Every structure is written in C-alpha cells, then in structure tokens.
Amino acid sequence: MSGLDELTREDLIALVLKLDETREVQEEQIGIQAARISELEAMVERQAERISELEEQLSKLGGPKSKPEWVKANKPKVEFGDRKKRTQSFSRRSLAPTRVCYHAVETCADCGRKLSGGSVKWRHQVVDIPQSPVEVTDHLFVERMCGVCGKRFVPDSREILGEVVAGKRCIGIGLMSLIAHLKTTCRIPVRVIGRLLKSLYGIEISKGAIVGILHAVAEMGEPEYLSIRERIRGSPLAHGDETGWRENGVNGYLWSFSTPEVRYFTYNHSRSSAVVKEVLGEEFAGALVSDFYAGYNAYEGVKQRCWVHMKRDLDALSERDTDNESVVTWVKEVLEVYWRAKETVSADYSESQRCCMRRGFEAELQSLADPYLVAKNAPQRVLSQRIDRFLGELFTFVQYPFVPSENNAAERAIRPAVIARKVSGGTRSHRGSKTSSVLRSLFETWSVQGLNTIDACREMIVCSNRKSLPATDQ
C-alpha cells in the first residue's frame, strides 16, 4: 500500500494543489535558467568575435614576439637510428718513439735471486712535451788577421744568421713563427701570448715587442701576400664574401676572396663595389660566386649567386606564412626546380645540352616569379623580384659544373676572422688591419694547402731574410 489510501478526499485535493504549485516554481526556475543560458551563449559569441578581431590585428603586426627576432628557433629533435658498426678502430695510433724505456724487476720478491732476460709483456706509450727553458745563443764573430798580407777577416753574418734571425732582432725565426701562428691561427690575444711564452719557456716578451714581431712577419710576407692576390686573379673560380670589422672603434669591412688553393683577405672602410674591382682587377676572367649583395654586381663576368642564402630566405618565408597554402606551395615549387638543377651537375651532358637545360630552369623559375612581381600584398613579392633580377646568375652551375651552387667556401674562409673579431673586437690602427689581413691570408692559405703553418712561416721568413738581411760585419 502506498499510504494514499488512508488520505481523505480533501487531503488528496490539497496534495494535488501543492504539486501544481511546485511544478509552477520548477517551470519558473527552468525559464530563468534557459534565459541565463541564452545570455551566456550570446556572450560566448561576442567573445569569439573579439578573439577573431584580435587575432587578425595580431597577424597584421607580425604575430606574437615572445623572443627577439635575432634569436634562432630551436632545432627539431632528430631521431637517429642504430649506429653503424665501425670496420676499424679509430683510437689514437702509436707514434714513432723518440725514446724507449725498459722496465723490469731486477730480483725475485720471494727468494731475492737476480732475474735476467725476459720478453716485453705490454707497452704504454706516453706523448708529452719537454719542460725546457728558452735557448739563448750568443753568436760571436771573431776577427782574424792574415800574417802574410795583413788583411783582417770576419765571418759573413749573412751566411751565418740568415736562417736563425731576421735582421738585427734578437728574437729568432722559430719564435717569430710561433708567435704569428698563435695570434693568427689560434686566435690568442697578444697579452695571453706573452703569458704562455713565460709559462712554457721562461722568456718574457712585452706586449709591444710581440706586436712589433707580428708587423715584421707581415712585412716580410708582403710579396707572398701579393702573389696570393695574383693567383686569385688568374683562377677560373673565386668566392667572395665580407664581414664587419672595427678599426680603432670605426666600423669597416674585412673582405675575403678565396679559391680551393688560396685565401686572400683585405680590410677597407668601404663596402662598395670598388673593393671588388680593386682586388679582382681587370685580369680576373673566371666565375665569381657570392651572395646577393649588390657590391658584386660590378663584376661583369660569369657570376653564380648563392642558393644557400636563397634557400634560407625561402624557408623563412614558408615558416612565417605556414597557414598560407599558396606560399608554402610556391616555396616548394621553387626549391624543386633547384634540386632538379643540382642533379644535372654529376650527370654526363655535353656543353650544348647544359646550356639548353640552364635556359629551361631559368624559364621555369621565371614563370613562378612572374605572378608576384607587382603584387604588393603578396608575401612572395620580394623573393620573386630577387629571382627576376638575378635570374641569369642562379643556374650558372648547370652550364659550368665546376662552379658550385653555393658560397660555402667563402663562409668557411671568413668564419675564423669572425671569431677573432668577437675575441679582440677588431684592430686599433690601419697598420694593425693591414698586418691582420696579410697574416690571415698567409696562414689560411698554408692551412688549406695542408702545410704546417709554423714551418711554412719559418721558410717564408728565411727566404725573405736571404734577400734583405744586411751584413753586420765590423
């Protein structure tokens, strides 16, 4: 039984009326809640519209800038597969020993009997440098007189000192070469060079004396420095690049011109095309590889513009407009033309075939650039105009396979100078800039030729010394 059977008619009528009142209250509350829901939905719609407006304004301003523009983005994590097993060991190989020490037990530890003979059980090679002081040599020139004719004779200093010292200096050629090597190749500051020489050899050389030695080595290397420039001018291929350099606090530029065999550096306050004309001269008739800087436009011969710089800008455009499908597709199409052009370098084609292929690639690239040349709001406009301007210098490597499509050689050549600039901040005088350029040209050239730079510097000083050393006979 539900309990309703015990209620009277009046009780049931009262219960029904109470349920009606409760239902009306619930319906009223439902209506209030429905109105609140509608109000919240309208608010959400307004917020969504406001968010869309803010995103549009933000996109016009270039997007969020949580980091400065010069900060590079983190590289994506690369998943490496299983490491390939080595076919041989790459541990340090044993060197030819300069001294051999035998170690053996002389007597038996148990009975004291003397031991003899035996065989080598194992070997441990130690590579170290001797802790020896600086070598100071007094060269005494003895005068002797002939008892018959009465003439006096003194040994010719040119023959005796020509290979040990430059001029009337007291610093030997070997030490001069080491100082130049430490400053140029190792990029060690002058003050630190002095401390290093004192620690290793116990010799004290002032900062001014070290600077004077560097100037002297550069002056003796001037003929070879000019010879390097002549080799640049006579080469069928040259790479050009420049970087900022400060001379006594004034901004200037360090120019680099290189071939597979030589490196040439020169400092100039200007970044104009006059430097390119001065270095290459009228003799150079080869191919010049460079970036898109207008200073290289002065050379009227064969030119190849760097595709690495071009690809870097294309990738930046694609990353900046990732949501724009037309931009991403356009970048992929431009790079596809380049990669197909790269495949022709290693193939065996005749000269006429390569010339036709070059024109074909240029026509493809021109067709991709044409739609955006005058479209002011198109993200592709700037790079399209670059393609249109330098079209004849983008596929030179297709016609001439010995010409690389990028300027990596110049980038690698000038990188040590960039590091040296960060360490020292530049040079303090015109003579210092000249010395730095000469020494860098000499040492970088010797290094790329696979020579020992200290030995090469010593030989250069000896050759110069033989031509210019004055006799000191008295």
**77-102 pLDDT, tens digit each:** 777 777 777 777 777 788 888 899 99
pLDDT at 215: 96
**133-176 pLDDT, tens digit each:** 888 889 898 989 998 888 998 888 777 888 888 888 889 999 99
Q: What is the mean pLDDT of residues 381-403?
A: 95
Q: What is the mean pLDDT of residues 93-117?
A: 89
pLDDT at 21: 79
pLDDT at residue 75 tops 80: no
Total residues belonging to the chain: 474
Q: Does any domain span residue 331?
A: yes
For the ranges 31-40, 51-60, 168-177, 438-447, the maximum mean pLDDT occurs at 438-447
Q: Does any domain span residue 22?
A: no
Picking from 427, 424, 449, 451, the residue whose alpha carbon sits closest to that of residue 438 is 427
Cα–Cα distances (Å) from 105 to 108, 109, 110, 122, 269, in that order, read: 8, 9, 12, 14, 71
Q: What is the mean pLDDT of residues 323-338?
A: 93
Q: Environment class of residue 258 by beta-carbon count within 10 Å: exposed (0-12), middle (13-18) or buried (19+)?
A: buried
**264-285 pLDDT, tens digit each:** 999 999 999 999 999 999 889 9
The parent domain of residue 380 ranges over: 307-399
The amino acid at 383: L
Q: Does any domain span residue 426?
A: no
Q: Does any domain span residue 361?
A: yes
Q: What is the mean pLDDT of residues 51-73?
A: 72
Q: CA angle at residue 441 from 221 to 254, to 5 degrees?
A: 125
* Cβ burial 294-316 (10 Å sphere, 16+ → b, else e): ebbeebeebbbbbbebbbeebee
Q: Does any domain span residue 202?
A: no
Q: Does any domain span residue 356?
A: yes
Q: Does any domain span residue 352?
A: yes
pLDDT at residue 472 tops 50: no
- Helix/strand/coil (H/E/C) assignment for every residue in the chain: CCCHHHCCHHHHHHHHHHHHHHHHHHHHHHHHHHHHHHHHHHHHHHHHHHHHHHHHHHHHCCCCCCCCCCCCCCCCCCCCCCCCCCCCCCCCCCCCCCCCCCCCCCECCCCCCECCCCCCCCCCCCCCCCCCCCCCCCCCCCCEECCCCCCEECCCHHHHHCCCECCCCCCEHHHHHHHHHHHHCCCCCHHHHHHHHHHHHCCCCCHHHHHHHHHHHHHHCHHHHHHHHHHHHCCCEEEEEEEEEEECCEEEEEEEEECCCCEEEEEECCCCHHHHHHHHCCCCCCEEEECCCHHHHHCCCCEEECHHHHHHHHHHHHHHCCCCHHHHHHHHHHHHHHHHHHHCCCCCCCHHHHHHHHHHHHHHHHHHHHHHCCCCCCCCHHHHHHHHHHHHHCCHHHHCCCCCCCCHHHHHHHHHHHHHHHHHCCECCHHHHHHHHHHHHHHHHHHHCCCCHHHHHHHHHHHHHHHHCCCCCC
**338-361 pLDDT, tens digit each:** 999 999 998 899 999 999 999 999
Q: How many domains does the chain have?
A: 1
Is the distance from CB of 215 to CB of 427 less than 8 angstroms?
no
Picking from 425, 456, 430, the residue whose alpha carbon sits closest to that of residue 441 is 456
pLDDT at 2: 59
Q: Does any domain span residue 367?
A: yes
Q: What is the mean pLDDT of the chain?
A: 89
pLDDT at residue 470 tops 80: no
pTM of the complete model beyond 0.85: no
pLDDT at 239: 96
pLDDT at 67: 65
**355-365 pLDDT, tens digit each:** 999 999 999 99
